[in-house]
Structure 1
């Protein structure tokens, strides 16, 4: 065996784990186990979503484990997760993946005693689904922090870009879990393994509900942020309008008496300046009272 290919024997089956295989290695695996070359090569191609199908004497499953970091801004399936491909029958399990997964290495190195290939598959499926647990809590915590910031009047500390990525991550992750649920529901096991499989299904349902709630919260949070921002802009416009309402008539009065006509009788009044100031003051009081009665101020 080469460095990136490991093999482990159990009582009734063998497990072949392949990490980052070359094209030649994939062709050798396909030839050795009488598999079609294209599905084997597809197992390391980017972008495939969870699925299950029958290929000759093997069943073929693709699942995706969550691999993104907490503070990364991701918006695609490939950025959020990496896949593991499974080819299995009663006597053989082959796992193929491009990158290393700690849970796979731990299972491989452990003294786990599996009586059937289904028992091992269920164990691996459970670990893959568990990779979505921590991100679910991350999303909840981040939403709570953003919510506090919005309602504590600190909108300037919020990035609309971060809100977008948060919504995108929850939406994509939920879709991945729903597709995974479809695969698990089509995965048939012997009666003695049905209880363990049901436990995996229950965990999936809980995660889907958690991400659905997080997605709804993220959407509502973005809408709230946009509403609060719009309200803030409206307040600014309202303030400017109020100032304009006060100064527009005063500016008009000043403009009239700033004209350079020779015969303007008010310019000869001894108390003309005082009258103009008093008139401006009365006009401001009138505008203020009118605004108050209309509940504008």
Structure 2
């Protein structure tokens, strides 16, 4: 649904635009003396966070976390959606394709803002905080997988899920680092610096959390592969041990199963008993050797 919401404050105006049409693009660019390509660029899906100066406006793009926690994500576009900002001391324009609850709540609120930077910093903070809940969810998921690997030996773990979990954590950290680079370049009046610093502190906190989650995800994947390899080695070891016992016995049985007329052992009265006793002794010798080599 396309919508344009205008709010007029005492010292500035806010224009919030959702999914504008081509005609609306042109109207916005003409009304505020913006480059039409910059306005259209604000809705291109693949752009990463950035900041630049366009005529009388500062142009900022930030991406908010919009994916569901249970989705399998491997790209930036699947994990997040962007909000584009054009702002100066008298005007704030936000352009986005996806509806964001925090923008709708702010546009419907009766709160008054002294300057464009008061509102701008609040929006920045809300965008950054969209990464907070997924960060905790990622940590909980890693803990659950870790418990499954080490405490539930019979439980099945999907390597695909581990991959997507690692990918989501890596992409989230990348976006937060790029957002931090953008926020660090934003200049605000002195009275807004404390609020902006709070946004920066939240970014640092989340980057550290995702960095830890990414490291844990890498370690967990390596551990899972190691545990799986160990289980395969245990199976191969067991099969090798069985083979070590049965190969010589099969060899003996094969010899005495040959259809030759002149095999004197076949006519011994206790030949069968001798062969069985020999097989038992051979198994005991093999077992003793394995025990001495600490294979069993």
TM-score range, shorter chain: over 0.9
Which structure 2 residues correspond to residues 29-108 of structure 1 after superposition, within 5 A? 29-108=28-107
Name structure 2 gaps, 5 residues minimum: none
Task: Specify the alignment match of 1:243 in structure 2.
Answer: 242
SS at match of 1:258: coil
Q: Could you tell me how far apart the structure 2 residues matched to 1:23 and 1:220 are?
A: 48
Q: How far off its partner does 1:141 sit? A: 0.6
Q: Could you tell me how far apart the structure 2 residues matched to 1:155 and 1:96 are?
A: 51
Q: How far off its partner does 1:33 sit? A: 0.7
Q: Give me the TM-score of the superposition, normalised by structure 2.
A: 0.98
Q: How far off its partner does 1:248 sit? A: 0.4
Q: How far off its partner does 1:259 sit? A: 1.0
Superposed CA RMSD in Å reads 1.1
Task: Specify the alignment match of 1:187 in structure 2.
Answer: 186
Q: Could you tell me how far apart the structure 1 residues matched to 2:273 and 2:228 are?
A: 45
Structure 1 pair 44/151, CA: closer, same or farther in 2 (3 Å)?
A: same
Q: How far off its partner does 1:213 sit? A: 0.3
Q: How far off its partner does 1:154 sit? A: 3.7
Task: Specify the alignment match of 2:205 in structure 1.
Answer: 206
Q: Could you tell me how far apart the structure 2 residues matched to 1:153 and 1:3 are?
A: 51
SS at match of 1:267: helix
State yes or no: 1:139 paired with 2:138.
yes
Task: Specify the alignment match of 2:277 in structure 1.
Answer: 278
Q: How many residues align?
A: 296
Q: Could you tell me how far apart the structure 2 residues matched to 1:157 and 1:67 are?
A: 29
Q: Could you tell me how far apart the structure 2 residues matched to 1:55 and 1:249 are?
A: 84
SS at match of 1:63: strand
Deviations 1:175-221 (A, max 9, x none): 00000000000000011110110011000000000000000011111
Q: Give me the TM-score of the superposition, normalised by structure 1.
A: 0.98
SS at match of 2:295: coil
Name structure 1 gaps, 5 residues minimum: none
Task: Specify the alignment match of 2:5 in structure 1.
Answer: 6
SS at match of 1:189: coil
**Shift >4 Å, 4+ stretches:** none
Deviations 1:26-85 (A, max 9, x none): 111111111001110011111100000000011000000000111111111111110000
